[in-house]
Amino acid sequence: MRNTSIDFKSQVTVKLADVKLQGALSRLQTRFVEGRSAVIGEIDDLPATRTAAAAIRDRVLNDLEHWLLHFEQQATARGAIVHWAETGEDVNRIVAEIAAQHGVKTAAKSKSMVSEECGLNDALELAGIKVMETDLGEYILQLAHEAPSHIVAPVVHKNKEEISDLFAEKHQLPRKTGIAELCREAREVLRPAFLNADMGISGANFLVAETGSVLIVTNEGNGRLVTTLPRVHVAITGIEKVVPTLEDVTTLVRLLPRSATGQSITNYVSVLTGTKDNADHDGPEHFHIILLDNGRSSLVGSEMQEMLRCIRCGACMNHCPVYQNIGGHAYGWVYPGPMGSILTPLLGGIEKSPDLPNASTLCGACAVVCPVKIPLPDLLRKLREKQMERGMKSRQETFMLKAWAWLALHPAIYALTTKIGVRFMSMLGGKDKLLHSLPGASGWTNGRDFPAPAGRTFREMYRQGKRK
Amino acid sequence: MNARDKILGRIRNAQARQRTPAQVETISSHLAQHPRGPLPPSPDDLVASFRERAIKLSSDVLEAKERMEVPALLARYLDESKLPMRGVCWPSLAELPWNAAGLEMQSRPATNQDLVGVTGAFCAIAETGTLMMLSGAETPATTSLLPETHVAVLDPRRIVATMEDAWDLMRMECKQPPRAVNFISGPSRTADIEQTVTLGAHGPYRVLLILAPF
């Protein structure tokens, strides 16, 4: 998928003014934020479970080569073929080669964010393979030629009426208005795609090193269908998704759906190991697992390594006041919200996403809900430091920061300057005690007023003993 | 150098250290011991807890005094739900008195035309009201997937507390994991349209669990 995060600011302006989008985003609050808080308490000792989950991810990341090799060995022993891809284009090429090797004409696909990184569908269409997205949300997006705007609920930006219109137009059937009817229609349209597909394509939520298995969590059952019916199964995932044992992955599965959709468990948790036995009636004859790097290995051993713990639950974006107001498309690539604001610059290049590390109030909500305890605000701050080091900040911002640093190192001048400053600003605030414009900060005051200071500095008040 | 060597090489250089024998030992002992993480408290009554959780996730639950009662219970359920009185079942259930209960049950894997699929289960998990299914020649995965109604006949003595217990049971009874282990928790669902939960996405619309001692 093309990275357009360079246009973040102009996208934000568009998204904030989009009334339909704003209505759609308000549903995140009830369904995901309240949903999570209703079930996360089912976990007996949440702090201990989060600590254990972070430790499981760190155990792998600190010895990633070993665990990847162990996974590869176990998966291969059960008849799977493991491929390694440096870039998204490599993934596309490998999938096309597998398709050619097995005479594949059609593929049914369950949701995979890694395949969105690669732009797999377009590449396969070019290679003459018909690809059908089968996750309801991804199917809707495929019909509408749009990108997902959330990693768990890809079509959160669309309302029911838009989907009704889309189905009526694309399916050439009478327009349905009820959500249950729309789901039924999609089921009936897609069932033949599962039955006729030569190849099933899925992602992997986790790879289990102990058994060489691919684990996927799904609700709709399409993940089970694409990994059961077609004769070839290709699973595509990132190199960081390895987990040591079945017990370890169970701890993570206890946290993932609760953090993601407020479910105690997803309808289906499938652990897939190797190919079908001769006597089996179902299951793929060929099982290919593609491990994608795409910049991930550059984070290993770096100060950003904690980002690789991510299990893609989406809790950070659901709870982010920035995401809640602009939605996912404004971020310009596959991963939105706080985790995306870190991953997009790290995987795609810091220079290409100058605004993303700053698209956060650092309120810390994301770090509080992250099931694997990624210090997201700290990582955002580190990225801002990198931007400063590389001279990516505007001359004005650099000057302001330097001036402030100088002042902070000279307490007497600092006291005097602030004393004058707050009196002046208090005066400007007038009767309503609000500043409607500030020189050099119009980006802030264009959208809202700045509350005028009280007229005296904290230090003055403190000296007078008014400790309020 | 191929992609595999390049990726693994970059990781090795970044971590830039040789593993000491002690570290290798920790890795292999972690695999051998596969320690458990923090667990929920074990319920006093596994069956009651399983029932409660399964119903919460929209499964229907019935209890039979013995296996022979299952066909009659299922016949009543299908009749009341206005569902077809015929379906397919796993070979292990072929001997139950289906005909006597007015049901036409064929012992074969499900196809797209079958509307009712009757399976057993390897075991079940009380923590989340979940079935654990192991794929195999005698336990086809399609039976719990293609039909609109999935019926699972489960021995209540095979209900364990947690998924960790279920893995232990699998390690004890099977030499390796089968091609597919499927954990099933209620009917398939989607909330992709306006985050409104709708039952029956691509898998079954309803899941009936019949607890019956073997």
CATH number of the CATH domain containing B160 = 3.40.50.10420
Residues A201, A234 contacting (CB under 8 angstroms): yes
Residue with the two structure tokens 């505007």: A394
Residues B177, B170 contacting (CB under 8 angstroms): yes
Low-confidence ranges of chain B (pLDDT < 70): 18
- Residue from B190, B198, B205 whose CB has the most chain A CBs within 10 Å, to mutate: B190
Q: Which one, of A81, A247, A227, A199, lies nearest residue B179 by Cα?
A: A227
Contact A180 B190 (CB under 8 A): no
**Beta strands B116-119; B86-89: pairing state:** parallel
Q: Which one, of B73, B56, B50, B53, lies nearest residue B210 by Cα?
A: B73
Per-residue pLDDT, averaged over A230-245, amounts to 98
Residue with the two structure tokens 């002046």: A424
Give the CA distances from residue A38 to residues A152, A172, A244, in Å, rounded to whole numbers and listed in that order: 18, 41, 30
Which of A43, A229, A245 is the closest to B34 by Cβ? A245
Give the CA distances from residue A25 to residues A32, A158, A256, in Å, rounded to whole numbers and listed in that order: 11, 9, 21
Range(s) of the domain holding residue B159: 42-211
Structure-block tokens of residue B211: 């607890």
Structure-block tokens of residue A332: 């310009």
CB hemisphere CA count around A267 (13 angstroms): 28
In this predicted structure, what is the pLDDT of residue A431?
Answer: 83
Tell me whether B91 touches chain A (CB under 8 Å).
no
Dist. CA A200–CA A184, nearest whole Å: 22
Chain A, nearest residue to B40 by Cα:
A44
Which of B14, B188, B194 is the closest to A220 by Cβ? B188
Is residue B3, in this structure, part of any structural domain at all?
no
In this predicted structure, what is the pLDDT of residue A439?
Answer: 76
Contacts of B16 in chain A (CB under 8 A): 301
Contact B182 A180 (CB under 8 A): no
Q: Which one, of A448, A192, A86, lies nearest residue B10 by Cα?
A: A86
Minimal Cα–Cα distance from A140 to chain B, Å?
Answer: 9
The number of angstroms, rounded, from the C-alpha of A74 to the middle of its chain's C-alpha atoms is: 29
Length of chain A: 468
Dist. CA A82–CA A287, nearest whole Å: 9
Which of A27, A53, A69 is the closest to B195 by Cβ? A27
- Residue from A206, A251, A268, A304 whose CB has the most chain B CBs within 10 Å, to mutate: A268
Contacts of B164 in chain A (CB under 8 A): 247, 250
Chain A, nearest residue to B162 by Cα:
A250
Instruction: Tell which wins on pLDDT, A459 or B123.
Output: B123
Chain B, nearest residue to A285 by Cα:
B179
Residues B98, B105 contacting (CB under 8 angstroms): yes
Is residue B179, in this structure, part of any structural domain at all?
yes
Per-residue pLDDT, averaged over A329-358, amounts to 97
Contacts of B132 in chain A (CB under 8 A): none
Question: What's the number of domains chain B is made of?
Answer: 1
Dist. CA A371–CA A96, nearest whole Å: 36
Per-residue pLDDT, averaged over A313-322, amounts to 97
In this predicted structure, what is the pLDDT of residue A467?
Answer: 53
**pLDDT (tens digit, 9 = 90+) per residue, A190-200?**
999 999 999 99
Minimal Cα–Cα distance from B38 to chain A, Å?
Answer: 6
Q: How many CB atoms lie within 10 A of CB B24?
A: 13
Contact B7 A239 (CB under 8 A): yes
Assess whether pLDDT exceeds 80 at residue A237.
yes
Report the sign of the C-alpha dihedral through residues A108, A114, A120, A122, in that order. positive
- Residue from B7, B13, B131 whose CB has the most chain A CBs within 10 Å, to mutate: B7
Contact A250 B163 (CB under 8 A): yes
Amino acid making up residue A143: L
Which B residues in the span 149-168 are in contact with A, Cβ-Cβ below 8 Å? 162-164, 167
Dist. CA A66–CA B124, nearest whole Å: 34
Is residue B33, in this structure, part of any structural domain at all?
no
Q: pLDDT above 70 covers what percent of chain A?
A: 99
Minimal Cα–Cα distance from A378 to chain B, Å?
Answer: 21
Per-residue pLDDT, averaged over A232-256, amounts to 98
Dist. CA A208–CA A213, nearest whole Å: 5
**pLDDT (tens digit, 9 = 90+) per residue, B76-105?**
999 999 999 999 999 999 999 999 999 999
Minimal Cα–Cα distance from A115 to chain B, Å?
Answer: 18
Residues A110, A131 contacting (CB under 8 angstroms): no
Is residue B106, in this structure, part of any structural domain at all?
yes
Q: Is B172 exposed, middle or buried (0-12, 13-18, 19+ CB in 10 A)?
A: exposed
For chain A, the domains span 43-297, 395-463
Is residue B24, in this structure, part of any structural domain at all?
no
Assess whether pLDDT exceeds 80 at residue A443.
no
Contact A70 B135 (CB under 8 A): no
Which of B11, B37, B53 is the closest to A65 by Cβ? B11
Contact A269 B192 (CB under 8 A): no
Structure-block tokens of residue B172: 């004890």
Contact B38 A190 (CB under 8 A): no
Dist. CA B105–CA B71, nearest whole Å: 10
How many helices (DSSP H) and strands (DSSP E) are in chain B?
A: 5, 12
In this predicted structure, what is the pLDDT of residue A208?
Answer: 98
> What does the H/E/C string look like for chain A?
CCCCHHHHHHHHHHHHCCHHHHHHHHHHHHHHHHHHHHHHHHCCCHHHHHHHHHHHHHHHHCCHHHHHHHHHHHHHHCCEEEEEECCHHHHHHHHHHHHHHCCCCEEEECCCHHHHHHCHHHHHHHCCCEEEECCHHHHHHHHHCCCCCCCCCCCCCCCHHHHHHHHHHHHCCCCCCCHHHHHHHHHHHHHHHHHHCCEEEECCCEEECCCCEEEEEECCCHHHHHHHCCCEEEEEEEHHHEECCHHHHHHHHHHHHHHHHCCCCCCEEEEECCCCCCCCCCCCCEEEEEEECCCHHHCCCCCCHHHHHCCCCCHHHHCCCCHHHHCCHHHCCCCCHHHHHHHHHHHHCHHHCCCHHHCCCCCCHHHHHCCCCCCHHHHHHHHHHHHHHCCCCCHHHHHHHHHHHHHHCCHHHHHHHHHHHHHHHHHHHCCCCEECCCCCCHHHHCCCCEECCCCCCHHHHHHCCCCC
In this predicted structure, what is the pLDDT of residue A383?
Answer: 97
Chain B, nearest residue to A33 by Cα:
B195
Per-residue pLDDT, averaged over A259-284, amounts to 96
Which of A228, A248, A280 is the closest to B145 by Cβ? A228
Contacts of A66 in chain B (CB under 8 A): 19, 27
**pLDDT (tens digit, 9 = 90+) per residue, A104-130?**
999 999 999 999 999 999 999 999 999
In this predicted structure, what is the pLDDT of residue B82?
Answer: 97
Dist. CA A376–CA A306, nearest whole Å: 9
Dist. CA A51–CA A67, nearest whole Å: 20
Dist. CA A401–CA A422, nearest whole Å: 19
Amino acid making up residue A410: H
In this predicted structure, what is the pLDDT of residue A191?
Answer: 96
Minimal Cα–Cα distance from B118 to chain A, Å?
Answer: 16
Which of B10, B109, B162 is the closest to A281 by Cβ? B109
Dist. CA B194–CA A157, nearest whole Å: 9
Structure-block tokens of residue A438: 């500030």
pTM of the model: 0.94
Instruction: Tell which wins on pLDDT, A458 or A146.
Output: A146
Is residue B188, in this structure, part of any structural domain at all?
yes
In this predicted structure, what is the pLDDT of residue A337?
Answer: 98
Residues A3, A295 contacting (CB under 8 angstroms): no
What's the CA dihedral at A291, A292, A296, A298 to 10 degrees? 100
Dist. CA B214–CA B202, nearest whole Å: 31
Report the sign of the C-alpha dihedral through residues B153, B156, B162, B163, in that order. negative
Say what the ipTM of the complex is. 0.97
Contacts of A227 in chain B (CB under 8 A): 180
Q: Domain A43-297 belongs to what architecture? A: 3-Layer(aba) Sandwich (3.40)
Per-residue pLDDT, averaged over A164-189, amounts to 96
Contacts of A156 in chain B (CB under 8 A): 195
Amino acid making up residue B104: E
Contacts of A219 in chain B (CB under 8 A): 188-191, 201
Chain A, nearest residue to B194 by Cα:
A159
Residues A365, A318 contacting (CB under 8 angstroms): no
Contact B179 A153 (CB under 8 A): no
Which of B34, B178, B196 is the closest to A246 by Cβ? B34
Contact B31 A70 (CB under 8 A): yes
Contact B177 A211 (CB under 8 A): yes
> What average pLDDT is seen over chain A?
94
Give the CA distances from residue A453 to residues A160, A195, A436, A463, in Å, rounded to whole numbers and listed in that order: 47, 68, 13, 18
Minimal Cα–Cα distance from A27 to chain B, Å?
Answer: 7
Dist. CA B145–CA B112, nearest whole Å: 10
**pLDDT (tens digit, 9 = 90+) per residue, A379-407?**
999 999 999 999 898 888 889 889 999 99
Q: How many CB atoms lie within 10 A of CB A379?
A: 23
DSSP letter (8 states) at residue B138:
T
Contacts of A20 in chain B (CB under 8 A): none
Chains A–B, number of C-beta pairs less than 8 Å apart: 248
Residues A374, A367 contacting (CB under 8 angstroms): yes
Residues B155, B122 contacting (CB under 8 angstroms): no
Residue with the two structure tokens 């030629």: A145
In this predicted structure, what is the pLDDT of residue A442?
Answer: 78
Residues A84, B4 contacting (CB under 8 angstroms): yes
Contacts of A194 in chain B (CB under 8 A): 202
Minimal Cα–Cα distance from A275 to chain B, Å?
Answer: 6
Q: Which one, of A365, A314, A374, A252, lies nearest residue A113 by Cα?
A: A314
Is residue B119, in this structure, part of any structural domain at all?
yes
Report the sign of the C-alpha dihedral through residues A86, A88, A93, A96, in that order. positive
In this predicted structure, what is the pLDDT of residue B15?
Answer: 87
Is residue B97, in this structure, part of any structural domain at all?
yes
Minimal Cα–Cα distance from A285 to chain B, Å?
Answer: 11
